[in-house]
Amino acid sequence: MRTCLVVDDSSVVRKVARRIFEVLDFDAREAQGAHEALGQCQEAMPDAILVDGHLSAMSTTEFLSTLRMMTDGNKPVVLFCTSENDNGEIARALTAGADDYVLKPFDRESIRSKLAAAGMKL
């Protein structure tokens, strides 16, 4: 089964995203912040990661750069999740290693289409 990691400070967003990924047949895990997420990635690199645009303790771009430097760090399809349609912020995330982005509020179809566009078979 494919795996996914949802990284967001909000427990509500994590719960909603987790359910969406589970409907898409992923084994979904959650992380409240970047450090917890990187620790989980060191243990077992997921197939997909949904990461919030505003993490505490570490910027999302720093998280993405660190992730991509890890062993198997290029494996996951990473979706940058933001509530702001800020082209500069999105460009920085894509440059740092995100494969694509989704805007909040997101739904199953937006997640599915972005994962498929990034080359993930669903």
Q: Kindly give the residue spans of alpha helices, DSSP state H, lying in the chain.
A: 11-23, 34-43, 60-69, 87-96, 108-117
Q: What three-state secondary structure class fits 53?
A: coil
Is 54 inside any structural domain?
yes
Total domains in the fold of the chain: 1
Q: How far apart are CA 116 and CA 107, in angstroms?
A: 14
Q: What is the pLDDT of residue 38?
A: 98
CB 47, CB 118: distance < 8 Å: no
Task: State which residues form the domain around 64.
Answer: 2-117
CB 57, CB 66: distance < 8 Å: no
Q: What is the pLDDT of residue 73?
A: 94
Both structure tokens of 48: 């997909």
Mean pLDDT value of segment 35-51: 98
User: For the chain, what's the residue count?
Assistant: 122
Specify the CATH number for the domain of residue 60. 3.40.50.2300
Q: Which residue has the higher pLDDT, 121 or 32?
A: 32
Is 122 inside any structural domain?
no
Exposed, middle or buried: residue 59 (CB in 10 Å: 0-12, 13-18, 19+)?
A: middle
Q: How far apart are CA 113 and CA 96, in angstroms?
A: 21
What predicted TM-score, i.e. pTM, was given to this entire model?
0.96
Q: Which residue has the tokens 């500069």?
A: 88
pLDDT at position 56 over 90:
no
